[in-house]
Amino acid sequence: MAHPRYIKSGIRIYRHRSGKGANRIRFLAWKDSVEFIRRLWTHMDFGACLMKNWNEPCPICEDAKRKVSKGKKYRALVKQGILLGKNPRMLAQIIDRNEEETGVQLWDVAGSEVEKALINLSVHKDTGLIVPWTDPDYGCDLIYDYDSAQENPEPSNLRRSWQSKLNIELYDGAMDFDEDIINKMSYEKLAAIYAEFSQQE
Ligand SMILES: [Zn+2]
């Protein structure tokens, strides 16, 4: 799997393991933040959308508009990543509890279903208390299944572990989302990457 262009090179990306309960991760809060999930709108492999993420002119959105006005079908454009679909990416930095020595990795999944499942898991049903996912002493891990043989495999059957301690030193690698993770391209750079694709078409 190629490194996605919307993530800075050098950031280690978590690879889902196939199997029931094969994935067990601990979310870390972003640096200087209490949040641990961030959304990112992407034009698939081209890069992050400048319009939807940062409210700046985006060359791909501009071309999508042109194509729509010429009668191109929405669905085809979404499939190619030219029009944004319904789901942003969801990004989190995590520790792989099955391989902690690897250190902080980036968890990058398609949003919506996973997000809903996570929200459901974030409240204790019996007490109504919010689950402190990222707490080193009282936090929980996320456990899920994955099946790489599926066409569009995504984490499934998400569940919460019991509270467990995480070695506090592992938190030292916590990164800043905007500065350390996201590869925000200039208008020109994104346009150039997109133009290369358009020529192949
Ligand atoms: Zn865009």
Ligand 1 mean position to 181 CA, how many Å? 19
**In this structure, is residue 155 part of a structural domain?**
yes
Rounded to the nearest whole angstrom, what is the distance from the C-alpha of residue 190 to the centroid of ligand 1?
10
Lowest mean pLDDT among 19-23, 85-89, 155-159, 183-187: 85-89
pTM of this structure = 0.90
In a domain, 152, yes or no: yes
The whole-chain average pLDDT of the chain stands at 92
How far apart are the CA of 58 and the centre of ligand 1, in A? 5
Q: What number is the average pLDDT over the span 173-190?
A: 92
Chain-centre distance of CA 159, in angstroms? 18
183 Cβ neighbours under 8 A, 6+ residues apart: 5, 6, 7, 8, 9, 47, 48
Compute, in angstroms, the gap from residue 52 CA to the centroid of ligand 1: 6
SS (H, E, C) the chain: CCCCCCECCCCCECCCCCEEEEEEEEEECCCCCCCCCEEECEECCCEECHHHHHCCCCHHHHHHHHHHHCCCCHHHHHHCCCCCCCCCEEEEEEEECCCHHHCEEEEEEECCHHHHHHHHHCECCCCCCECCCCCCCCCCCEEEEECCCCCCCCCEEEEECCCCCCCHHHHHHCCCHHHHHECCCCHHHHHHHHHHHHHHC
Q: Identify the CATH number of the domain in which residue 107 sits.
A: 3.90.198.10
For 135-146, how does the pLDDT look when each residue is reduced to its tens digit (9 = 90+)?
989 999 999 999
Domain assignment present for 5 = no
- Is pLDDT above 70 for 157? yes
Question: 2 C-alpha vs ligand 1 centroid, how far in Å?
Answer: 21
pLDDT above 70: residue 77: yes
Residue 94 CA to ligand 1 centre (angstroms): 28
Most confident of 41-45, 174-178, 197-201: 41-45
Distance 149 CA to ligand 1 centre (A): 31
Q: At what angle do helices 187-200 and 59-69 cross, to 10 degrees?
A: 50
39 part of a folded domain: yes
Instruction: Name the most confidently modeled range: 120-124, 129-133, 139-143.
Output: 139-143
Instruction: Provide mean pLDDT across the span 73-90.
Output: 92
- Structural domain span for residue 172: 19-200
Asked if residue 6 is part of any domain, the answer here is no
Kindly state the greatest CA–CA separation across the chain: 57
How far does residue 110's CA lie from ligand 1's centre (Å)? 17
pLDDT in the model for residue 172: 81
Answer yes or no: is 8 within a domain. no
pLDDT, position 178: 86
pLDDT of 201 reads 58
pLDDT tens readout for residues 10-49? 999 999 999 999 999 999 998 888 889 999 999 988 999 9
Structurally, how many domains does the chain consist of?
1
CA 9 – ligand 1 centroid, Å: 21
Whole-number Å distance, alpha carbon 122 to ligand 1 midpoint, is 31
Is 130 part of a structural domain of the chain?
yes
Is 137 a member of any domain? yes
Give CA–CA dist 101/87, Å, rounded: 32
Ligand 1 centroid to 187 CA: how many Å?
10
User: Can you say how many angstroms the Cα of residue 69 is from the centroid of all Cα atoms in its chain?
Assistant: 31
**Hey, CA dihedral for 160, 162, 166, 171, is it positive or negative?**
positive
Per-residue model confidence (pLDDT) at position 200: 61
Distance in angstroms (rounded) separating the CA atoms of residues 183 and 106: 13
